[in-house]
Amino acid sequence: MNSRIIKNCQICNSAKLKDILNLGYIAPVNNVIDYKSNNILQKKYQAKLLKCNRCDLVQLSSILDKKIIFPKTYPYTSSTTKILSDNFKELYLKIKKNFNFKEQDLVVDIGSNDGNLLDKFKTYFRVVGITPELIGKLAIKKGVPTLIRYFDKKAVDIILNKYGKASVITATNVFAHMDDINYVIRQIKRLMKKDSIFISESHYLLPLIKNIQYDTVYHEHMRYYSLKSLNYLFKKHNLQIFDAENIPTHGGSIRVYVCNIKKYKVKNSVNKILNTEKKYLTFKNFDNKVLDTKINLLKILNNLKKKNKSIGGISAPSRATTLINYTGIDYDLVKCIFEIKGSKKIGNFVPGTSIPIIEEKINELNKFNYLIIFSWHIKKEIIRNLKRKGFKGKFILPLPSPKIVSN
C-alpha cells in the first residue's frame, strides 16, 4: 500500500466527514533527496482536511504507508531544538514531583527518536524507547535502551518480556502519526499497570486554526486533535483524561495525562480547555484565510525579486515542505534553505522542489538580503541567534500574517 483515501473517521468510524481545507498535493515531508541525485522527481499525495461530525476529529484525507512517511533515513532529530529539550526536562521534573512513582520504575517512550526525552528520565527511572528510524542508534549511544522498530504488538511483547509493565508511557509529537489509533491504544493498555499513566503531546487543533498553521498539515500528521476528540477516543477504551495543558512546542501543542477510569481525580484543567474549545474553535472562513496568506506571501516575494533582492530560507522543518509545496515557491524565488550544522537534512532538496538545504554559515547567510523563517513559530530564538552571529539582512515571516521584520 502506498496510500489510501479516508472514507470513515479514524476514531469512531463515522462516514459523516466534512471537507474543511484542501492544500492540493504535497510530497512526503521527510523523503529528502540528495541534491547530487540525477532524479529529483517525487510523487505527491492529496493533503485535505476532513472533520468528523460525530466525534469532532479533524483528520487527513489520505494515509500513506508508514515506510514512506517514516523511512529508515528519517532526518528529524528532536535534540537540535531547544524548546523541545526544555519541554522534556519540564515534563520529567513534573512527573517526578507530582506522582508517587519509585526510582527504577519503567518509562517507555513511543517514537523516542534520538532519545532526547528519555535522556532526562534515565537519571531516575529505568527507560526504554521505541523508534523505527536509524536515528535510534544516537539514543543507544547516549545510554538510552532503544528498540529500532515500529510500535506494534511484537514491540510490546519484547518490552513486557524484557522489562515488564511501565509506570509511565509517553508519546510526544507522535500520537497523531500512527495509523489505526484504536489498535495503538490497545497495545498501550497492555503496557499499563493499574496506576500507570499515559502522556500524549500532539499538535493542538485550536492554535492551528487560530494562527492559520496550515503548514503543520502533512502526511505524517494523520489526525489533528482537539481535547474533545481525545476525550472521545480514550473513553472508547475505558481510559480517562485526568489532566490537560497547553504547551508551546511546535507552535502550540496539547499535553494530556491519561489513566485507567477513576484512578486519578480529574482536574479542573480538563473542563476549562473543553469550554475554551466550545467557545473559540470554529472553522468558519479557515480555507479563505489560508489562501490569503499564500497570496500575500507570494506578493512580498515577487515584489522583492522585482527589486533584485536576494532571498534565502532559514530552517527546514517538516512544515516548510507543506508551505513551499502549497504556495508554489521554488528555486526561482528562494535559492536555498539553511540548516544548523549536524542536521540530517543538509545536502538534500526540500521534498517536491529543487531548493537545496545547506549548512548555515554566516558568510553564506550574508549573501542574502532576506531570509524566510520557515520555523516561524520559534522566530524570536532564530532571529536572536542569527543577529548574534552577525547576519545583516532582514527576515520574512510567512505566517500567520506574512510580513517583513528586522528583529
**DSSP letter string over 44-70?**
-EEEEEEEETTT--EEESEEE-HHHHS
Q: Return the H-helix or E-strand segment holding 299.
A: helix 286-306
| Closest to 360 in 3D by CA, of 310, 326, 313 | 313
Global pTM reads: 0.92
Tell me the three cell numbers of residue 209: 486554526
Q: How confident is the model at residue 30 (pLDDT cuts 50, 70, 90)?
A: confident
Is 250 or 375 the better-scoring residue by pLDDT?
375
Q: Residue 36: pLDDT band by 50, 70, 90 thresholds?
A: confident
Cα separation, 54 vs 229, whole angstroms? 9
pLDDT band at 32 (very low <50, low <70, confident <90, very high): confident
Percentage above 90 pLDDT, the chain: 86
pLDDT level of residue 259 (50, 70, 90 thresholds)? very high
Asked if residues 344 and 321 have their Cβ atoms less than 8 Å apart, the reply is no
Judged by average pLDDT, the poorest of 31-35, 160-164, 370-374, 390-394 is: 31-35
CA neighbor of 79 nearest in space, from 142, 134, 31: 142
**Burial status of residue 264 (CB atoms within 10 A of its CB: 0-12, 13-18, 19 or more):** middle
Fold topology of 78-280: Rossmann fold (3.40.50)
Determine the pLDDT at residue 231. Answer: 97
Three-state SS for 110?
strand
∠ CA 112-70-226 to the nearest 5 degrees?
70
- Tell whether the model's pLDDT for residue 95 goes beyond 70: yes
- Report whether pLDDT(79) > 90: no
CA-closest candidate to residue 200, choices 159, 236, 169, 224: 169
82-86, 119-123, 201-205, 282-286: lowest mean pLDDT where? 82-86
Say if CB 14 and CB 8 are below 8 A apart: yes
Provide the pLDDT for residue 33: 81
Q: What is the pLDDT of residue 98?
A: 95
Q: What is the DSSP letter of 225?
A: B
94 CB burial (10 A radius; 0-12, 13-18, 19+): middle
- The order of strands in the sheet holding 394-397 is 357-359, 337-339, 311-314, 370-373, 394-397, 403-405
DSSP string, 369-395: SEEEESSGGGHHHHHHHHHHHT--SEE
Q: What is the pLDDT of residue 344?
A: 84
pLDDT for residue 214 is more than 70: yes
Answer yes or no: is pLDDT of 75 > 80: no
78-280 and 286-405: identical CATH topology: yes
Q: What CA–CA distance (Å, rounded) separates 248 from 270?
A: 18
Average pLDDT over residues 197-203: 96
Quickly count: other Cβ atoms within 10 Å of residue 206's Cβ: 18
What is the per-residue pLDDT across 296-353, written as a single tens digit (0 to 9) for each? 999 999 999 999 999 999 999 999 999 999 999 999 999 999 999 988 899 999 999 9
**Banded model confidence at residue 134, pLDDT cuts 50, 70, 90:** confident
Pairwise CA distance, residues 159 & 181, whole Å: 20
Out of 23-32, 199-208, 238-247, pick the least confident. 23-32
Question: Alpha-carbon distance 368 to 269, whole Å?
Answer: 46
Average of pLDDT values for 245-271?
A: 95
Show the 3-state SS of 306-356.
HCCCCEEEECCCHHHHHHHHHHCCCCCCCCCEEECCCCCCCCEECCCCCCE
Average pLDDT of the residues in 162-180:
95
Q: What is the pLDDT of residue 261?
A: 94
Domain 286-405 = CATH 3.40.50.720:
yes
Separation of alpha carbons 257 and 254, rounded Å: 10
Q: How far apart are CA 230 and CA 175, in angstroms?
A: 11
Q: Which three cell numbers stand for residue 29?
A: 515531508
pLDDT for res 330: 92
C-alpha cell read off for 271: 473542563
Res. 83: pLDDT tops 90? no
pLDDT band at 72 (very low <50, low <70, confident <90, very high): low
Average pLDDT, integer, range 114-132: 95
Domain range list for the chain = 78-280, 286-405
Judge whether 366 and 386 are in contact, CB under 8 Å. Answer: no
Let me know: does 257 contact 199? Beta carbons within 8 Å. Answer: yes
Residue range 194-200: mean pLDDT, rounded? 97
Residue with cell 528529524: 76
For helices 227-236 and 181-191, what crossing angle results, to 10°?
60
Share the mean pLDDT of the chain. 94
Q: What is the pLDDT of residue 38?
A: 65
Backbone phi, psi, residue 52, to 5°: -80, 130
Answer yes or no: is pLDDT of 26 > 90. Answer: yes
Query: Cα separation of 306 and 326, whole Å?
Result: 22
